[in-house]
Homo-oligomer: A and B are copies of this chain.
Amino acid sequence: MKLITRNTDYALRAVCFMAKHKGKVVSVAELTRKLRVPRPFLRKILQSLNRSGILKSLRGQGGGFILAKDATQIFLMDIMRIFQGKLRLNDCLLKKLICPNKRSCPLRKKIAKIESYVLKELSAINIASLLE
């Protein structure tokens, strides 16, 4: 199983690239060349990042994308959430029958503890820390 999916991965690469060229407007064309990621897919990803406030977009000739905030203020968890939704390690066990007393299912508790650890760690990783 993967913790990080492809589109999160691509998004990270793009955001890292932009963080390394802070202040420069970067077009999809350039990113495609540099990152070797399928162009239409990358466009879709960048548009999501724009809508989510991670990037700002500039339309028209000479346009492109640029970070909407400082690289220290963009966290791995933010980007994962955009493309992978909320991190829930726990879903399946809501159902039934794994243990006699549903509410206080001991497995749920243990998984919840793991989940909160993972969440905390992922939320602490910012883009700036990935640049070197």
Q: Which residues of A contact B (CB under 8 A)?
A: 1-6, 8-9, 12-13, 16, 34-36, 76, 84-85, 87-93, 95-100, 105-107, 110-111, 113-115, 117-118, 121-122, 125, 129-132
Contact for A91 among B2, B88, B106, B132, CB less than 8 A: B2
- 12 interchain pairs, CB-CB under 8 A: A1-B89, A2-B89, A3-B89, A3-B111, A4-B91, A4-B111, A5-B92, A13-B98, A16-B98, A98-B130, A107-B125, A114-B117
Contact A110–B93 (Cβ < 8 Å): no
- Chain B residues contacting A5 (CB-CB under 8 Å) are 92
Closest to A5 in B: B92
CA distance A111 to B9 in the complex (A): 13
CA distance A7 to B17 in the complex (A): 40
Contact A92–B2 (Cβ < 8 Å): yes
CA distance A6 to B92 in the complex (A): 7
Contact B129–A88 (Cβ < 8 Å): no
Contact B97–A36 (Cβ < 8 Å): yes
- Chain B residues contacting A95 (CB-CB under 8 Å) are 9
- Chain B residues contacting A99 (CB-CB under 8 Å) are 16, 130-132
Beyond known contacts A1-B85, A106-B130: 5 more, CB 8 A cutoff: A3-B114, A34-B97, A99-B132, A106-B129, A113-B121
